[in-house]
């Protein structure tokens, strides 16, 4: 007989559930299957994203695991957008906004059909946090199993990843790369299915899912093409049944301490700046208000142990071979910086999970005694240009750019900035400012990977800074400061910057200032004309009206 506490009793038990049971029979379910816990298997499979093209196989493996452990798996969909394909055109405005579509639709599917548990199968940038947000809202036993990272490409005798492809465009456009080599990059950079092979946003969030306790060991690092990934998926399908039996729910796991652990490991791993949007948003759904400014306090005591692409020339496959996320956690735990008493989807605590982890390559995972830097990978800046906050991936900034002052060259769109870079108008010493691309102004806070890659490709990465109220891809490197808040569309000072204004970026001291007298800014404020929205129809119009600022995770209110 079925456990009386199961949510699915509402649709499978008693006379009043007979209409629902008749529909389950139409699906081909047997009486025995209806008497077992119903597990929603939320698959993000599609044929447009390389990171998702293998998720049908992952899904089948999960369903096999659920059945082996005595449950009834029912596959349901989740959407996803490929940031790499959406990059550089209007499509990028529709990337971040899908995080909330994913969370909303998954919440609706799970509750409407009275599932007893959920297995989330994401892989790329927005659908990892979107599904975690849904898990927190629905708050029934849930486990996450990603599709796994892509293997690195091989071009000219060295490993490559998507960031090198984007930078190759800039090099080719500047005449620094011949056509044959450019073609080699295009054909050799992305060799397999999986989430792009560096510590970009998708891999950052999949790794942090392990840290949060919502994924099994290897969720973030086992390559997509390894058979080990299928075995891991089967284990996830089996493990959800233990979570249902013990009634271990997402909010039991994703506590405030778990998010502090995630921020700590974010610093150690050198994750994407997008984690500063997604962690607060997931925390918000858990009833935890995560102030991103605590990141500086955490960074000050957390060494950066990994330099994966784009910060360095190692890749997710290398991190996996070196021992994976648990090995990095065990290194950081030597300093007592993690709360290891927390419960995870393994049914064990973090301390139990990482007990036997080993660092197998001290060049990939530096020991805490020999870190890449004494401080973490991300810094939160404040100052007259960003009175609330701004974010920079300091582990990917050249030492010469850590304290930098230069004249502004201002653009009200990514397209204008890109054209100026392509035309050679950006020169050594400039500070490129791209505004009206924030959560409201974009709308949708598009990523600025094309401009940053073009700057790198032209050899200006150690001579030019870029500041925006938009955001950056995890593939971005260099002195790139994003998430400037308040954004221009919300009346922030970034909207008052004019060409030639001096801007000072001081990453070690967490400062970013517009070096213009306040009385001059006040006069500009009085004479400023309101800018018309970039898109004023459809979903983006509604999104722009509801979205909060980036310092709060760009959550909808």
pLDDT value, residue 535: 84
The string of pLDDT tens digits covering residues 290-334 is 988 899 999 999 999 999 999 999 999 999 999 999 999 999 999
Contact by Cβ (8 Å): 148, 194: yes
Residues 477 and 452: their CA atoms lie apart, in Å, by: 7
Tokens for 296, please give them.
Answer: 């500086």
* Residue 358 CB-density burial (10 A; 0-12 exposed, 13-18 middle, 19+ buried): exposed
- Letter string b/e over residues 117-150, b meaning 16 or more CB atoms within 10 A of that residue's CB: bbbbbbbbbbbbbbbbbbbbbbbbbbbbbbbbbb
pLDDT value, residue 1: 47
* Residue 378 CB-density burial (10 A; 0-12 exposed, 13-18 middle, 19+ buried): buried
Specify the pairing of strand 117-121 against strand 379-381: unpaired
Task: Tell which residue, 550, 499, 498, has the closest CA to residue 525.
Answer: 498
pLDDT value, residue 305: 97
pLDDT value, residue 73: 98
pLDDT value, residue 481: 97
Q: Residue 473 catalytic?
A: yes
Q: What angle do CA 548, 124, 450 make, to 5 degrees?
A: 75
Spans of the chain below 50 pLDDT: 1
Q: How far is CA 252 from CA 77, 246, 279, 518, in A?
A: 25, 12, 17, 48
Task: Tell which residue, 480, 514, 258, 214, has the closest CA to residue 386.
Answer: 514
Tokens for 114, please give them.
Answer: 């009275």
Tokens for 36, please give them.
Answer: 């077992």
Phi (first) and psi of residue 331, to 5 degrees: -60, -50
pLDDT value, residue 33: 97
Residues 414 and 476: their CA atoms lie apart, in Å, by: 15
Indicate which residue of 44, 105, 299, 473 is catalytic: 473
pLDDT value, residue 474: 81
Task: Please identify which residue in the block is written with the tokens 């290398």.
Answer: 318
Task: Tell which residue, 522, 214, 500, has the closest CA to residue 347.
Answer: 214
The string of pLDDT tens digits covering residues 280-302 is 999 999 999 998 889 999 999 99
| Distance in angstroms between the alpha carbons of the first and the last residue of the chain | 43
């Amino acid at each position: 007989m079925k456990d009386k506490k199961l949510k699915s009793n509402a649709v499978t038990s008693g006379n009043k559930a007979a209409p629902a049971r008749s529909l389950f029979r139409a699906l081909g379910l047997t009486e025995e299957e209806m008497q077992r816990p119903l597990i929603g298997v939320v698959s993000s499979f599609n044929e447009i994203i390389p990171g998702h093209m293998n998720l049908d196989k992952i899904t089948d493996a999960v369903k096999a695991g659920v059945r082996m452990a005595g449950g009834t798996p029912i596959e349901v969909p989740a959407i996803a957008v490929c940031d790499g394909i959406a990059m550089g055109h209007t499509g990028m405005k529709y990337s971040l906004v899908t995080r909330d579509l994913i969370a909303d639709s998954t919440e609706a599917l799970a509750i409407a059909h009275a599932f007893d548990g959920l297995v989330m199968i994401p892989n790329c940038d927005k659908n990892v946090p979107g599904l975690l947000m849904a898990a927190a809202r629905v708050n029934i036993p849930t486990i996450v199993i990603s599709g796994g990272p892509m293997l690195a490409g091989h071009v000219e005798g060295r490993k490559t990843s998507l960031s090198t492809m984007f930078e190759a465009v800039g090099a080719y456009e500047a005449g620094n790369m011949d056509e044959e080599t450019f073609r080699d990059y295009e054909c050799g950079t992305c060799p397999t299915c999986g989430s792009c092979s560096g510590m970009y946003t998708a891999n950052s969030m999949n790794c942090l899912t392990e840290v949060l306790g919502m994924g099994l060991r290897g969720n973030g690092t086992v390559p997509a093409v390894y058979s080990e990934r299928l075995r891991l998926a089967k284990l996830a399908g089996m493990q959800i049944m233990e979570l249902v039996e013990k009634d271990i729910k997402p909010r039991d796991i994703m506590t405030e301490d778990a998010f502090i652990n995630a921020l700590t490991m974010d610093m150690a791993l050198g994750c994407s700046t997008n984690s500063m949007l997604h962690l607060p948003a997931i925390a918000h759904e858990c009833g935890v208000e995560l102030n991103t400014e605590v990141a500086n306090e955490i960074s000050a005591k957390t060494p950066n142990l990994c330099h994966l692409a784009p910060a360095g020339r190692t890749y997710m496959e290398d991190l996996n071979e070196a021992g994976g996320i648990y090995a990095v956690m065990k290194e950081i735990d030597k300093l007592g910086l993690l709360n290891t008493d927390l419960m995870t989807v393994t049914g064990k605590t973090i301390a139990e999970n990482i007990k036997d982890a080993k660092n197998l390559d001290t060049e990939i995972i530096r020991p805490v005694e020999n870190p890449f830097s004494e401080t973490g990978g991300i810094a939160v800046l404040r100052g007259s240009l960003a009175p609330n906050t701004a974010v920079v991936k300091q582990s990917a900034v050249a030492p010469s750019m850590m304290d930098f002052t230069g004249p502004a060259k201002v653009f009200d769109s990514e397209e204008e900035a890109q054209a100026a870079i392509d035309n050679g108008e950006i020169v050594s010493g400039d500070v490129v400012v791209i505004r009206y691309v924030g959560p409201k102004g974009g709308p949708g806070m598009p990523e600025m990977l094309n401009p940053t890659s073009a700057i790198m490709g032209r050899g200006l990465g150690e001579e030019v800074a870029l500041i925006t109220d938009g955001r950056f891809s995890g593939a971005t490197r260099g002195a790139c400061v994003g998430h400037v808040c308040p954004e221009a569309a919300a009346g922030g000072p970034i909207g008052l910057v004019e060409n030639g204004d001096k801007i000072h970026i001081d990453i070690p001291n967490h400062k970013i200032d517009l070096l213009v007298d306040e009385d001059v800014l006040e006069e500009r404020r009085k004479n400023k004309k309101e800018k018309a929205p970039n898109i004023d129809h459809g979903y983006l119009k509604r999104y722009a009206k509801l979205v909060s600022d980036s310092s709060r995770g760009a959550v909808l209110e």
